[in-house]
C-alpha cells in the first residue's frame, strides 16, 4: 500500500530513544516532516539540527524542534519522554515517576493533536503508560499503541536464531503479556519455516529441550537489563521497533504486531498488555485469538492481574 504523503511525525522526548528514532525514520524515508519536542528546548534544538544535517545524505525530510502545538497535523505522535530505567531497576519501579510525567505532557499533546492522530507509547513501563495515555488524552483505546512486546519478540527470535544457527527471519515466535518480568513466551505456537520448533529441532538433530528453551527465554528477558548495565540505556532496538510501527500505521498495512493496547485480557478488564493486533491507520485493531496452552493462558492472566494492580494503585 502506498505511503500517504506528506506524513508528519511528532516525537515527544529528545533523549536517546527519541533522537535515535528520528534517525531511523529519517534514513527510512518514513516521514516527510519530523518535529522533536522536549522540555529541554536546547537539547531538542541541538538534536534536530544535527539530524537535519543528515537528511541530505538520504532525502529532504524536514527535521526541526518545536513546541506541543506543533503536534497539530501529525499522523503519528511518539511519546518517548520519561525517566530512564537505571541499572537494576525494574520497569514497575519507574511507574509512579513516569505516570506523573504523562499526567503533565499527554493532555498538552492531545490538546493540539488531530482527532485522527495515533499516539505511540515507548516510555516505560510501557503497558502502564499506554493505559495512562488513553486516560489522559481522551483518545479511544485503539488510537493509542504501546510498543509492548514487539522488541521482546525480536530479541526472542534473535536468541533462538543464534542457538539454532539459523536466520532469525525464519523463526516465528512471540512474547505476549507485560513488557517486563511477567512476559510470556508462546512456545506452543513457535515455528521455524512453518514447522513447530520442537519438530524442527528433532529433525535437525538439535538438542533443544525444556532446559535449553528456558535458558533461551531467560536470556531474552534479561537482555534489556544487560544492555543497560553495559552502556546505560537501550536505543537501537526500540528505535527500529518504533519505525516498524510507524510504517504499519502510515502505510495502512494491517500488519500483525504484538503491541500493547487497552482492552480485556484473560478475564481482566481495562488493562493494557501485548497480544498480536492488526496495526493500521486506525492504530491497533482486532486482537488475534491465540490458541494458547493452559500454562500460557495462566501466565497471560497473571500478567494482566499484575498490570491491573499497578494501574489501579496509580489511579487511587
Any bridge partners for residue 284, and if so which? Answer: 279
To the question of whether residue 18 is assigned a binding role by annotation, the answer is yes
To the question of whether residue 38 is assigned a binding role by annotation, the answer is yes
Backbone angles phi, psi at 229, to 5 degrees: -65, -30
The CA distances from residue 100 to 97, 133, 174, in Å, are: 5, 11, 31
To the question of whether residue 14 is assigned a binding role by annotation, the answer is yes
Burial of 270 (0-12, 13-18, 19+ CB in 10 A): middle
Domains, the chain, in order of start with CATH, read: 8-146 (3.40.50.720), 149-315 (3.90.110.10)
To the question of whether residue 17 is assigned a binding role by annotation, the answer is yes
Angle between helices 294-315 and 95-112 (to 10 degrees): 80
Strands 255-265 and 195-196: unpaired
**What secondary structure, in 3-state letters, does 128-152 show?**
HHHHHHHHHHCCCHHHEEECCCHHH
Angle between helices 41-52 and 16-28 (to 10 degrees): 30
| Dist. CA 174–CA 157, nearest whole Å | 8
Per the CB < 8 A criterion, the answer to whether 68 and 112 are in contact is yes
Catalytically annotated residue among 112, 131, 142, 179: 179
| Dist. CA 259–CA 179, nearest whole Å | 9
Please state the separation of Cα 297 from the chain's center in Å. 22
179 is catalytic: yes
| Dist. CA 173–CA 154, nearest whole Å | 8
List per-residue pLDDT tens for the chain, 316 residues long: 444 568 999 999 999 999 999 999 999 999 999 999 999 999 999 999 999 999 988 878 999 999 999 999 999 999 999 987 666 766 667 899 999 999 999 999 999 999 999 999 999 999 999 999 999 999 999 999 999 999 999 999 999 999 999 999 999 999 999 998 999 999 999 999 999 999 999 999 998 999 999 999 999 999 998 998 899 889 999 999 999 999 999 999 999 999 999 999 999 999 999 999 999 999 999 999 999 999 999 999 999 999 999 999 998 8
To the question of whether residue 280 is assigned a binding role by annotation, the answer is no
To the question of whether residue 98 is assigned a binding role by annotation, the answer is yes
Q: Find all residues with CB under 8 Å of 24, minimum gap 6, and list them.
A: 239, 240, 242, 243
**Residue 172 CB neighbours (<10 A):** 15
Please write the tens of the pLDDT for every residue from 206-245.
989 999 999 999 999 999 989 988 998 899 999 999 999 9
The CA distances from residue 71 to 11, 34, 143, in Å, are: 9, 10, 15
Query: What is the value of pTM for the model shown?
Result: 0.94
| Dist. CA 314–CA 187, nearest whole Å | 33
| Dist. CA 55–CA 86, nearest whole Å | 32
Q: What is the CA radius of gyration of the chain?
A: 19
Amino acid at each position: 500500500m502506498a505511503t500517504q504523503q506528506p506524513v508528519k511525525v511528532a516525537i515527544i522526548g529528545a533523549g536517546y530513544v527519541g533522537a535515535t528514532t528520528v534517525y531511523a525514520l529519517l534514513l527510512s524515508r518514513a516521514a516527510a516532516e519530523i518535529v522533536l519536542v522536549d522540555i529541554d528546548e536546547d537539547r531538542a534544538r541541538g538534536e534536530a539540527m544535527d539530524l537535519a544535517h543528515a537528511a541530505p545524505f538520504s532525502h529532504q525530510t524536514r527535521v526541526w524542534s518545536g513546541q506541543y502545538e506543533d503536534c497539530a497535523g501529525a499522523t503519528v505522535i511518539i511519546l518517548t519522554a520519561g525517566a530512564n530505567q537505571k541499572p537494576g531497576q525494574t520497569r514497575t519501579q519507574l511507574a509512579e515517576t513516569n505516570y506523573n510525567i504523562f499526567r503533565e505532557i499527554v493532555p498538552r499533546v492531545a490538546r493540539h493533536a488531530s482527532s485522527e492522530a495515533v499516539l505511540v507509547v515507548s516510555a516505560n513501563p510501557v503497558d502502564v503508560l499506554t493505559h495512562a495515555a488513553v486516560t489522559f488524552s481522551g483518545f479511544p483505546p485503539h488510537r493509542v499503541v504501546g510498543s509492548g512486546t514487539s522488541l521482546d519478540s525480536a530479541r526472542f527470535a534473535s536468541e533462538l536464531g543464534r542457538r539454532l544457527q539459523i536466520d532469525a527471519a525464519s523463526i516465528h515466535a512471540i512474547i505476549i503479556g507485560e513488557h517486563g518480568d511477567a512476559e510470556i513466551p508462546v512456545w506452543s505456537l513457535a515455528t521455524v519455516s512453518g514447522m513447530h520448533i520442537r519438530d524442527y529441532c528433532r529433525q535437525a538433530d538439535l538438542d533443544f529441550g525444556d532446559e535449553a528453551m528456558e535458558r533461551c527465554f531467560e536470556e531474552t528477558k534479561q537482555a534489556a537489563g544487560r544492555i543497560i548495565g553495559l552502556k546505560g540505556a537501550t536505543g537501537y532496538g526500540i528505535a527500529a521497533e518504533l519505525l516498524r510501527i510507524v510504517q504499519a500505521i502510515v502505510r495502512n498495512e494491517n500488519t500483525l504486531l504484538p503491541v500493547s493496547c487497552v482492552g480485556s485480557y484473560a478475564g481482566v478488564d481495562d488493562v493494557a498488555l501485548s497480544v498480536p493486533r492488526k496495526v493500521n491507520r486506525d492504530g491497533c485493531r482486532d486482537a488475534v485469538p491465540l490458541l494458547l496452552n493452559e500454562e500460557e493462558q495462566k501466565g497471560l492472566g497473571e500478567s494482566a492481574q499484575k498490570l491491573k494492580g499497578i494501574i489501579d494503585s496509580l489511579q487511587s
